[in-house]
Amino acid sequence: MRLKRVYFEDIRLFKTTASLVWTLLFLLLLFLVPFIFKTYYLSVVNLMCLNVIVALGLNILVGNTGQISLGHAGFVAIGAYTAAILLQAGVPFVFTLIIAGLVSCLVGAFLGLPSLRLEGPYLAIVTLGFGLAVMVIIGRMEMFGGRMGLMIPRIDLNWSGLSYDRTLYYVFIIITILMTILAHNIIHSKIGRAFQAIRDSDIAASVTGINLVHYKTLSFAVSAFFAGIGGALWALYLQFVTPGTFSLMMSVLFLATVVLGGLGSVTGSVLGGIVMTLLNLQLEKVVTVPLFGDLIVFLSDTIMNPSGIANIRWVLTGLILILIILYEPHGLNGIWLRIKRYWNLWPF
Amino acid sequence: MIVQLLISSLVTGSIYALIALAMAIIYKASEIPNFAQGEMAMVSTYITFVLLSTFGFPFLTALVLTLTFAFLLGILFEFLLIRRAKEPNLLGFIIITLGFQLLLFGLAGWKWGSDQRTFTLPFSESEVVVRTSSFVLTEHNLASLIIAMVIMVILYLILNHTKLGLAMRACQQNVGAAMFNGIPANRILGITFGISSIVGAIAGILVAPITTLDPTMMWDPLVKGFAAAVLGSMKSLPGVVIGGLLLGLIENLFGFYVSLEFKSIVAFGVIMLILFIKPSGLFAKHYIRKV
Amino acid sequence: MEILVVENIVKGFGGVTAVQDLSFAVSKGEIYSIIGPNGAGKSTVFNCINGLYRPDSGTISFGGRDITGLNPDKIATAGISRTFQNLELFSRMTTLQNLLLGRHVSTTYSIWQMLTFNFRNSKAAKQEILQREKAEDVIEFLELEPYRDRPVFSLPYGVQKLVELGRALAMEPDILLLDEPAAGLNHEERQDMIFWIQDIRNELGITIVVIEHNMQLVKDISDRVLAINFGQKLVEGSVEDVLRDQSVIRAYLGEPAL
């Protein structure tokens, strides 16, 4: 007996009317943000968008395909610098964005090729080396502005009739939504299934007809594409790029974002991107939290050193990473699913 | 000039080799690439510094206390974090070590990060032991080489000629079988982390006078040490030592003859090339899972 | 008609020869069993056939086409599917997803068509629905309905074996290689497995090659049996003949004491 006759229900974006309604409400809220909040908060949301996009891509590689990348900042840098050069040359934004994504994608495919037979620490060191190499090469080459970096001109957004900041906000939001849908489709299509198959057992994947070379390379390329788009937006957001931005630390933080959000899930990438951005911006303000903040100030004054208190950010990020792995391996997505289940059953 | 290059290659190479050894000991025992290794060494180095400068201990006392600290740090790391992982898989372990790395980095920055300090050892970088027309050998060079050599010999003796080493090797090969034979595998892993942390700390103390004492001081050496370990295939201890020396040599020769600017990344080019040909490093058979 | 022909294959692992000059042929529609003591090289033969190992010499042809040394995914696409001795499942995915992966090769839409995946009338959505129907057919055939949406690592061992069989079946292969399908199953599950294997041949017309230690199962299902030891053919023939053969008995029980 078949309970589900219409299989399309399992494919479509919104599985229930309720989820459609909630999504529309959420979109409405996003639409209204520029009219409610100050410009500063718009730039916070923009930063979230960047992190979400990169996390979506990295999650496909790490969470779905089970490969490790410690060099994703390299792809972001490639996207950002491509965008910077193209925008300086006056190429329209839409093309810039796509080209930045594609250049990064191509490099991703190239990095994917030598990585096909590698796993675990071997893959980790190759990606890590890649990230560092990109940083060094960009920093030493004249055409990329060397250590000083490149300035990026503002793009033309006058067509909207709104202020630059508001329009930029909408541009970021729309791109992020499109990228989220793209990631969702990849994961739920046969391509995503093949990725997950490789993660679970590459031997079984190959005997079910999955071409390992093709799909591993594809996974790197797709992931790099997302990072490239994220990088292009990064260039637009900061208005200047320097090689120092795209450090090993950035790669580590991206990995942290994905783990915090929840491996292998689109919701996880989105939640991770949002929360990690907030943490990065707000962790230094932890001293203003009652009790906990006081404790930290007290520690600072007694055992530690008050002038180094900004480093509390790394301490807390590190703690969060460890606690997530130890107590909530499915990350924020796991917590989210539990809340949803609870509300579905409420009030029972 | 070539002699001078060889000396500096040997010195940097043996420091890389020490870090590589520290990582490889843990990797052999648990398949965990320990990214916190560098930061553990950095914190230990700061401990030496504080003991020397603030408390004015004699160097040897400070060293012994530091190594004890390093040993305990390693054991605590294993006991409090690694052992508690619920769904242990490679990625999870990597994240834990990265998290611990950030934690230590933040703590060190919080406590000591505000200003750079110079770190002086009884063997200095500026005192020359041998000077000829073709090369200069400083105290620090000589001490680094001797210390690295001594550590390697001690490690070799521990692993191959003590009961502890036998137990460690048993756990590396088959944890289950080791436990059935009455070896407390968990405790052995903890001790492994402790020993590895000691080796790392020594590397840190040797690195500090060359760079400056700073929370980021171990980033580059760690990455290079890790690269050296991978080059020599994480699981063969003689392999990672050769990997370290090779890496030091490649870097210094490239830096002198080709380009100083790209010296820091040539290692990765070489590693990519080697892994492309031998996916598990120079000194390992590529392992194919049996089905 | 011979669908799978293995000729003089040799496969060694650094000094140990696992398969030595082995030849056999499987006819279309038969159930062909390979037996032999542990370490006789049975699984190695399978690994050579489906491309996980490349034989040192010899040829393997399938449906008249030489497939020696092709990659596993090419061989899978050509129509050979298999199961594994110690289960190789996509353990964190659900039963349904495992079966859909069996449909991977037949799911024909490009990465560009995937972009329109969410629209009911797109090629990708139609393909997904079609493949889902095929996967549901397998679920129905093997009675896996209760386990459809559960991740397979959480299923009992016997059910996992069925899911793996289902995944191989979902590929709609011409020939199915089963590596110890009854290993680890209890008596009842083993009887079921015999029933499924016969059904697969009789109803779906799929040729089956089985490696098995359980002689009851071999007796019940086999049309022909090949006995090997130390990677070499001992004897090939009907079940009765092979199991009575002195060389086979010696291979299993050792030389009689003098």
Using an 8 Å CB-CB cutoff, list chain C residues near B291: 43, 47, 52, 84-86, 88
Output the six-digit token pair for A91. Answer: 């190429």
Q: Which chains touch A (3 or more CB pairs under 8 A)?
A: B, C
Whole-angstrom distance, CA of residue C62 vs CA of residue C50: 10
Say yes or no for a CB contact (<8 Å) between A12 and C120. Answer: yes
Nearest to A307 among B114, B227, B291 (CB): B114
Q: DSSP of C2-48, one letter per residue?
A: EEEEEEEEEEEETTEEEEEEEEEEEETT-EEEEE-STTSSHHHHHHH
**E strand or H helix at C65, and its extent?**
strand C65-66
* Locus of tokens 């899978």: C76
Strands A240-241 and A150-151: antiparallel
Start-end of H helices in chain A: 17-36, 39-59, 72-88, 93-112, 121-140, 164-188, 190-200, 202-207, 212-238, 248-261, 266-282, 292-302, 312-327, 331-345
- Identify which of B41, B23, B25 has the alpha carbon closest to the alpha carbon of residue B207: B41
Say yes or no for a CB contact (<8 Å) between C104 and A208. Answer: yes
For residue C253, the tally of other CB atoms under 10 A from its CB is 9
Domain boundaries, chain C: 1-79+175-258, 86-172
| Best residue of C46, C53, C70, C73 to probe chain A, by most A CBs closer than 10 Å | C73
Q: Quick one: pLDDT at residue B291?
A: 64
Whole-angstrom distance, CA of residue A253 vs CA of residue C199: 54
Q: Prior bond to C181 cis, omega within 30?
A: no
Instruction: Report whether C170 contacts C73 (CB < 8 A).
Output: no
Using an 8 Å CB-CB cutoff, list chain B residues near A321: 95-96, 98-99, 102
Instruction: Report whether C67 contacts C53 (CB < 8 A).
Output: no
For residue A1, name the pLDDT band (cuts at 50, 70, 90). very low
Considering only alpha carbons, which residue of chain B is nearest residue C48?
A: B291
For residue B19, name the pLDDT band (cuts at 50, 70, 90). very high
Cα B64 from chain centroid (whole Å): 18
CA distance A210 to chain C (A): 5
pLDDT, tens digit, for every residue of A222-239?
999 999 999 999 999 988
Using an 8 Å CB-CB cutoff, list chain B residues near A315: 102-103, 106-107, 110
pLDDT, tens digit, for every residue of A102-119?
999 999 998 888 777 887
Residues 6+ apart with CB under 8 A from C209: C4, C26, C32, C33, C34, C46, C175, C176, C177, C178
Q: Which chains touch B (3 or more CB pairs under 8 A)?
A: A, C
Task: Look at the alpha carbons of B49, B50, B55, B60 in this order and tell me if their dihedral is positive or negative.
Answer: negative
Say yes or no for a CB contact (<8 Å) between C129 and A8. Answer: yes
Whole-angstrom distance, CA of residue A251 vs CA of residue A244: 12
DSSP C175: E
Q: Quick one: pLDDT at residue B190?
A: 92
Mean pLDDT for the stretch of residues A71-76:
95
Using an 8 Å CB-CB cutoff, list chain A residues near B19: none
Considering only alpha carbons, which residue of chain B is nearest residue A314?
A: B106
**E strand or H helix at B128, and its extent?**
strand B128-131
Instruction: Report whether B39 contacts A311 (CB < 8 A).
Output: no
Q: Quick one: pLDDT at residue C257?
A: 59
Using an 8 Å CB-CB cutoff, list chain A residues near C100: 190, 193
Task: Look at residue A36 and tell me whether its pLDDT is greater than 90.
Answer: no
Task: Look at residue A4 and tell me whether its pLDDT is greater than 60.
Answer: no
| Best residue of A2, A190, A206, A219 to probe chain C, by most C CBs closer than 10 Å | A190
For residue A17, the tally of other CB atoms under 10 A from its CB is 8
State chain A's mean pLDDT as an integer.
Answer: 87
DSSP C80: E
Nearest to B107 among A129, A252, A315 (CB): A315
Of residues A270 and B267, which shows the higher confidence score? A270
Task: Look at residue B242 and tell me whether its pLDDT is greater than 50.
Answer: yes
Percentage of chain A modeled with pLDDT above 70: 97
pLDDT, tens digit, for every residue of B93-151?
998 999 999 999 999 988 887 666 777 777 777 777 777 777 788 888 888 899 999 99
Task: Look at residue B14 and tell me whether its pLDDT is greater than 90.
Answer: yes
Considering only alpha carbons, which residue of chain C is nearest residue A197?
A: C90
Nearest to C136 among A2, A199, A207 (CB): A2
pLDDT, tens digit, for every residue of B37-54?
999 999 999 999 989 888
CA distance B110 to chain A (A): 4
Domain boundaries, chain B: 21-217
Domain at C86-172: CATH architecture: 3-Layer(aba) Sandwich (3.40)
Whole-angstrom distance, CA of residue C82 vs CA of residue A148: 58
Q: Quick one: pLDDT at residue B86?
A: 66
Nearest to C128 among A11, A186, A208 (CB): A11
| Topology of the domain covering C1-79+175-258 | Rossmann fold (3.40.50)
Mean pLDDT for the stretch of residues C91-115:
90
Using an 8 Å CB-CB cutoff, list chain B residues near C84: 291
Q: Quick one: pLDDT at residue A23?
A: 85
3-state secondary structure of A81: helix
